Amino acid sequence: MRRTRRLILVLAALLPGLAGAAPWGALSPEERAVLQSHRGEWDRYSPEQQERLRQGAQRYLNLSPAERSAVEEQRRRYQALPPERQRSLRDEYRKGRR
């Protein structure tokens, strides 16, 4: 009885996270286009990470063409940086979000 009760409690705690996971095919065609670079890893992301990426895709899709061009240029410049510089910029960004 106790074992069953514990199992039910554990499963109940896990269900909200599982419910939030979205298979790649559930994304809109526009979201899939924006998130194409994440396709191979999508199913391994947590529901929270998937949701953050989907929100970012929606923000991108709401940008004007000029704003999208600016984002693409920033992305190209970032990708051209050495990995250690990219890492330090990510760390700075994360610290600023807290």
Assigned token pair, 58: 């929606």
Confidence (pLDDT) at 91 = 94
3 vs 24, residue with greater confidence: 24
Q: What is the pLDDT of residues 51-94, one digit of tens each?
A: 999 999 999 999 999 999 999 999 999 999 999 999 999 999 99
Q: What is the pLDDT of residues 15-45, one digit of tens each?
A: 544 556 899 999 999 999 999 999 999 999 9
* CB 28 within 8 Å of CB 60: no
Please state, in angstroms and rounded to a whole number, the distance separating the CA atoms of residues 66 and 17: 37
CB 80 within 8 Å of CB 91: no
Q: What share of the chain is helix, strand, coil (3-state, %, to 5)?
A: 85, 0, 15
Q: Distance between CA 41 and CA 48 in Å, rounded? A: 14
Query: What's the pTM value of the predicted model, to 2 decimals?
Result: 0.68
